[in-house]
Amino acid sequence: MKIIGLHFGHDASITIIIDGKIVVHVLAERHNRVKHSVGLRAAEMDAALSAADLEWREIDCCAVVSTQDLEIMTGLVGDDFAIRPGETKQHPVPSPFMQLLESAGTPLESLLVKGLQKVAELDEERAALPENQRWTKIFPEWQEFRAGRISSIGWLNVFIAHDRWNAGRGMEDIRTDGIDPAMFGNATRLGMHIPVTVSWKGHSVPGYFVDHHVCHAASAYYRSGFENSAIITHDGGDASRNLSGLFCYGQGSRLFTLGPHHLALGGIYRAMGIKLGFGAIGPEGKLMGLSSYGQPRFFDSRFVGNVHDSQKRFGEGPFSAWYRHCLKLAEQAHYDLLHGEASQVLNPISVDMAASTQKLFAEGYLLAAEVLHQGLAESDRGTANLCLTGGAALNCPSNSRLYNESAFRDIYIDPNCDDGGLSVGGALFIFHNLMDHPVDLATAKNNRSPFFGLQWPAGLSEEIFVDAGQRYAVSKPDNMAASAAKDLDENKVLALYEGRSEMGPRALCHRSVLANPTDHGNWARVNGIKGREAWRPFAPVVIEEKMQDWFAGCPTHSPYMLFTARVRSRRLPAITHVDGSSRIQTVSAETGAIYQILREFDALTGIPVLMNTSLNGPGVPIVERPDEAYELFKDSAVDVLYLNGMRIGKN
C-alpha cells in the first residue's frame, strides 16, 4: 500500500511510505531554502514522488495535516490541486466525528480555520508584532496570498472530544479524574480524522485530515519499536483551546487519544525567548543554550501546572503571570532589569530568567509524566515506555530529567519531533491505526533511520569536482575516514556531506561541520564560521559503545541529539557547556561515514568524540544539495570539505 503524508503548516514536509516503510521524506525548507517554510509546492511533491519511483495516480491514500490554525495553501501546488473535505466516497474507514457533525446538522465548513488570512487582514501596527511578523518571513509568497492570488482551504483544529476535555481541568483534576475507560474504545481511536479527497494531475486520491497532535503521536509511537507506550505530545499551540498537546496510549497497531493535558510550557518557553531578544523565529533553541549560564532563582512551584491551574491561581494566562513574577523577584533582589536586546542576553536577569524558565519547563513535564503514568496504571494499562513528541521534545535538558527522574524506564523521541515529522505520523496513522496493519518491528527499525532525504545524481558532484580542481586540492583518499581523522587531529574544521539528508532540525552527520573537541578555541572558531553568537554551545558525536566512558546521565543510545549528558572528562572543552553538560549524539555503523571517522580519530588521539554542528549558514536551513555544500565551503572558513568520499582542501 502506497501512502503519502502531506504537511502544509510551518516546517512543511512530504513523506511516502510503501507497505508501512518510509521510502522518502522531503522537508520543504531544504528545497526552497526558507527556514521553517510554510506550505508545499509542486516541485517538492514531484521530487518526493520521483524518489519513490511513483506517479501521483499510483498513490492509494493521502494523509493531510497542518499546523494549528494554519490553512492549507492549495494554490502553491498549482491550480489543478484541490482538497475536498467531508467526501466519503472510496473511504473504507468510518469517521465518527463526521457522523456526529452530520447528525447535529453542523456544516464542516463552519469549523475550518484560516489563521494566515486573519494575519493578512491585520493593520500595519499589529502585523509588525513578532508573532505575526514571523509569518511573512517563513511564507515567501506572503504578498501574493494577501493580494488574493493564492487559493487555500481552511484547516480543522477540532475533532472528536470528551466532555471532560473542556471542563477547565488543572493537572491535579486530571490526576483525580483518572482515565475514562471509554478512551480505550473506537470513539477516540477512530475519531481524530475526517475523509477528504485530494485531486491533482487529473487523478483523485482518497485521504484523511488527521489531527495535528495525533500525527505527532503516531510519528513517535509507530517508530519506537514499543509493543505499548504512554505518549505525550506537546508544542506551542494554544493550551486554552486544547491545541498544545495530548496524552495518548499506543498498543499494537492501535493509537488511543486519552485527552488534552492543557500544558502551556511550549508557549511559555517560546514567549520568554522572544522577551529576552531572540526574535520570533526559533527562540527556543537559543533559550535552551542560555539557561545553563544562570541559576533558577525565580522558580516557584506554584507555577507548575497547566493553563487552567494558572487561571485559578493567578487570574491570568501562564506566561503573563510567570513573566510578571520573574520581574517582581528580580526587582526585589536589585537586579539590573535591562533585558530584551541581543546585547543583553548575558545580563544576570536574562540568564536567571532563562534558567528559571528551563526549570519550570522540566518540572511541568515531570508532573505531566507522573499524572499519565499513574492514570494508565490505574486503568490496568501500566507501561514503562514513554514516547515524547511535538516541538517541546527538542528540549534536551528536560528530556534527560524525564529519563532520570520519571517512572518511565524507556523513552523514545522521534528525530523530527517538530512539525516536520507530521507527514510521517499522518501516513503511519493511516496505515496502522485506520487500516489496522500490524506494527512489524523490523519495519519500525527501518523507519527510525533519519536518512530519508533525496538521493542526488552523481553528476552534480562530478561537476563540483571539476570546478574545485581549478581552485583547491581535490583527491579521492584511499581511506576517507583516516584522512578525515588526520585533518581533525591537525585541528582543521571539516564539512562532511554524505548521501541522503537527515530528518529533523538537528545535524546528524550527513550534513555536518566537525571539529576537534579538545581545543577550547574551536568553540569560538566554529561559532564564527557559522555566524552564531559566541556564547552558544556545541554538541558532540561519540561512538555509542564508548559513550559511558565519556558521558553520563542520559540514555546510552541517543542517536538524534535529543538528550543532555554530563561530561565526565576535562579533555573535551570545545563541547562542554558552562554547566558541565553536553547535548550528545551516539553514533553506530548505521549512521554512516562518521562512525569510521570517529574510530580513526580515536585510534589517533584516544578520544572517540568530535564536535558536530549543522552544515548551514546563519538563518538558513541545513544544506540539501551537494552544490549548496560546496558553495558554503567556498564562502566560509571551513578548511576541508568531504563530499561523497572526495576530499576538497583549501591551500
What is the set of domains in the chain, with CATH numbers?
2-264+367-448 (no CATH), 458-649 (3.90.870.20)
Contact 424, 25 (CB under 8 A): yes
Given the DSSP bridges, would you call strands 13-18 and 155-156 parallel, antiparallel or unpaired?
unpaired
* pLDDT value of residue 167: 86
Q: Looking at 498-545, which runs of residues are DSSP E strands?
A: 511-515, 539-543
Least confident stretch, 95-99, 175-179, 387-391, 591-595: 95-99
- For 14, the enclosing helix (H) or strand (E) is strand 13-18
Residue 390 one-letter amino acid: G
Above 80 in pLDDT, residue 189? yes
* pLDDT value of residue 104: 95
Above 80 in pLDDT, residue 92? no
Name the residue with cell 487519544.
257
Average pLDDT (474-479) is 97
Q: How confident is the model at residue 481 (pLDDT cuts 50, 70, 90)?
A: very high
How far apart CA 317 and CA 311 sit, in angstroms, is: 6
Above 70 in pLDDT, residue 90? no
Q: How confident is the model at residue 88 (pLDDT cuts 50, 70, 90)?
A: low
Given the DSSP bridges, would you call strands 410-413 and 609-614 parallel, antiparallel or unpaired?
unpaired
Q: How confident is the model at residue 129 (pLDDT cuts 50, 70, 90)?
A: confident
3-state secondary structure of 302: helix
Average pLDDT (546-568) is 98
Average pLDDT (219-239) is 97
* pLDDT value of residue 372: 98
* pLDDT value of residue 122: 83
Cα Rg for the chain, rounded, in angstroms? 24
Which residues are CB-neighbours of 381 under 8 A, at least 6 positions away? 179, 184, 228, 249, 251
pLDDT: which is higher, 493 or 128: 493
How far apart CA 338 and CA 276 sit, in angstroms, is: 10
Cα 88–Cα 92–Cα 95 angle in degrees, nearest 5: 60
Which whole-number Å values give the CA distances from 75 to 112, 140, 145, in the listed order?
17, 14, 9
Contact 388, 411 (CB under 8 A): yes
Name the residue with cell 499551540.
237
Above 80 in pLDDT, residue 113? yes
The model's pLDDT over 297-349, given as tens digits with 9 standing for 90+, comes to 999 999 999 999 999 999 999 999 999 999 999 999 999 999 999 999 999 99
The three grid cell numbers given for residue 126, joined into one nine-digit string: 499589529
Which residues are CB-neighbours of 254 under 8 A, at least 6 positions away? 189, 432, 433, 436
3-state secondary structure of 283: helix
* pLDDT value of residue 191: 94
* pLDDT value of residue 93: 83
Annotate 375-394 with DSSP letters as a single string.
HHHHTT---SEEEEESGGGG
Helix (H) and strand (E) counts for the chain? 25, 24
What is the separation, in whole angstroms, between the first and last Cα of the chain? 52
Q: How confident is the model at residue 132 (pLDDT cuts 50, 70, 90)?
A: confident
> What secondary structure letter does DSSP report for 573?
G
Least confident stretch, 31-35, 116-120, 152-156, 513-517: 116-120
How far apart CA 129 and CA 446 sit, in angstroms, is: 43
How far apart CA 88 and CA 476 sit, in angstroms, is: 57
The model's pLDDT over 434-451, given as tens digits with 9 standing for 90+, comes to 999 999 999 999 999 999
Contact 544, 525 (CB under 8 A): no
pTM: 0.97
Contact 223, 350 (CB under 8 A): no
The three grid cell numbers given for residue 266, joined into one nine-digit string: 511550549
Annotate 38-58 with DSSP letters as a single string.
BS--HHHHHHHHHHTT--GGG
The model's pLDDT over 22-67, given as tens digits with 9 standing for 90+, comes to 999 999 999 999 999 999 999 999 999 999 999 999 999 999 999 9
Above 90 in pLDDT, residue 87? no
3-state secondary structure of 639: coil
Within 10 A of 44 (CB to CB), how many other CB atoms are there? 24
3-state secondary structure of 15: strand
Above 80 in pLDDT, residue 69? yes
Above 80 in pLDDT, residue 651? no
Name the residue with cell 495525533.
214
Average pLDDT (627-633) is 98
Q: How confident is the model at residue 166 (pLDDT cuts 50, 70, 90)?
A: confident
Residue 186: closest CA among 210, 160, 222: 160
Average pLDDT, the chain: 96
Report the percent of the chain where pLDDT is more than 70.
99
* pLDDT value of residue 131: 75
Q: How confident is the model at residue 119 (pLDDT cuts 50, 70, 90)?
A: confident
